[in-house]
Homo-oligomer: A and B are copies of this chain.
């Protein structure tokens, strides 16, 4: 694995590294950790990487690694930079024969997303998008329960992703460090929409197996001077006629990372909370509430497959993130060994497009006083 981004002070770069190595399948061999050659070297040193594989730019890394013999050169590129720096390295990696793991939102707009899809389809290379929350065992169980019809037809969805860290003017407080999130040139047309809304959108479609057909979005820009949304209240209509609400916020004072979803079907319903991810609460027409746990009783194989430790020992954010990397790595190993496996155990470039379609539709809807807008 060669990493783009993840230099000094990067939270998400460190997460990618831990998630990649925890299962012993992936090794970090090189990186273009920063746009400063010096800081890229500094980061590489701290990671015990050889100096000559700490690059000053992703272009340099991709072109140099390509020259190395197979088996020595990196197998794939992991992109952990801010939003506006996803597309170019992803494109260059694909064009030079490297598989890609990319953070979300995948690109700045729908057009770029479609261009990456074309490249992936043309090259046949693998592309994983780190919608990490889909890696939780109880999210896999939820998806399997819906897919197996346990809940009956889905009628209603409630999803939320609530954070409070932008409740105050953090742009000013933190010396500009997070400012890129409110800069359309770097963040894209969405603020909270891109940062957390795409997770809510992806989780909804992942668990229900249904596409969001159209939405009506009322976005907020509560922080003084903000040009991008920091809050959103959104009505959803799913492709099968189900309806729902999505509530996202980065100004929900005191909230930490409150991603949660409820799905109501004709026969049963389920509820999952990211902050206590090892419970899946289910409710039924004719039976008391049942709570599933990782490696606990009554799970589908899809859930059991992604639990690493016995029941009652909590797994968390890093493990779920690692599950995305593991699914990608297992697929990659199969490809390298010319084997065929079920390669759908991780989000892909198509999920990336959905995310951009979601952001685009929400921004457009909001600009039209929450008019219904299709995801396309």
- Scan A7-24; emit 1 where CB is below 8 A from any B CB, else 0: 000010011011001111
Is A275 at the interface (CB under 8 A from chain B)?
A: yes
- Scan A362-374; emit 1 where CB is below 8 A from any B CB, else 0: 0000000110100
Is A253 at the interface (CB under 8 A from chain B)?
A: yes
- Min Cβ gap A59→B in Å is 26
Across the interface, which residues of B come within 8 angstroms of A235, CB to CB? 216, 218, 233, 235, 370
- Min Cβ gap A269→B in Å is 5
* Cβ–Cβ contact A269 & B252, under 8 A: yes
* Cβ–Cβ contact A310 & B11, under 8 A: yes
A223-247 contacts to B, CB under 8 A, are 231, 233, 235-237, 243-245, 247
A30-53 contacts to B, CB under 8 A, are 47-48
Across the interface, which residues of B come within 8 angstroms of A312, CB to CB? 163, 255-258, 274-275
Is A186 at the interface (CB under 8 A from chain B)?
A: no
Query: Which of the segments A75-83, A87-95, A287-295 contacts the partner chain?
Result: A287-295
CA A288 – CA B7 in complex, angstroms? 31
Chain B residue nearest to A14 in the complex (CB):
B308
Question: How many A residues touch B, CB cutoff 8 Å?
Answer: 85
Across the interface, which residues of B come within 8 angstroms of A17, CB to CB? 24
A310-330 contacts to B, CB under 8 A, are 310-319
Is A184 at the interface (CB under 8 A from chain B)?
A: no
Is A283 at the interface (CB under 8 A from chain B)?
A: yes
CA A14 – CA B313 in complex, angstroms? 14
* Cβ–Cβ contact A297 & B308, under 8 A: no
Query: Which of the segments A111-119, A121-129, A199-207, A260-268 contacts the partner chain?
Result: A260-268
Contact status of A289 and B293, CB under 8 A, knowing A218-B235, A313-B317? yes
Is A160 at the interface (CB under 8 A from chain B)?
A: yes
Q: Which 10 A-B pairs have the closest CB atoms?
A: A254-B283, A256-B312, A257-B312, A314-B316, A313-B317, A316-B316, A289-B291, A256-B311, A245-B245, A252-B264
27 contacts between A and B (CB under 8 A): A18-B24, A152-B253, A156-B233, A156-B251, A158-B160, A168-B285, A235-B235, A249-B264, A253-B268, A253-B269, A253-B285, A254-B268, A254-B269, A255-B264, A255-B269, A255-B312, A257-B310, A278-B316, A284-B297, A288-B292, A288-B293, A288-B296, A290-B291, A291-B291, A313-B316, A315-B317, A370-B372
Enumerate chain A interface residues (CB-CB to B < 8 A).
11, 14-15, 17-18, 21-24, 47-48, 151-152, 155-156, 158, 160, 163-164, 167-168, 216, 218, 220, 222, 231, 233, 235-237, 243-245, 247, 249, 251-258, 262, 264-269, 274-278, 282-293, 296-298, 308-319, 369-370, 372
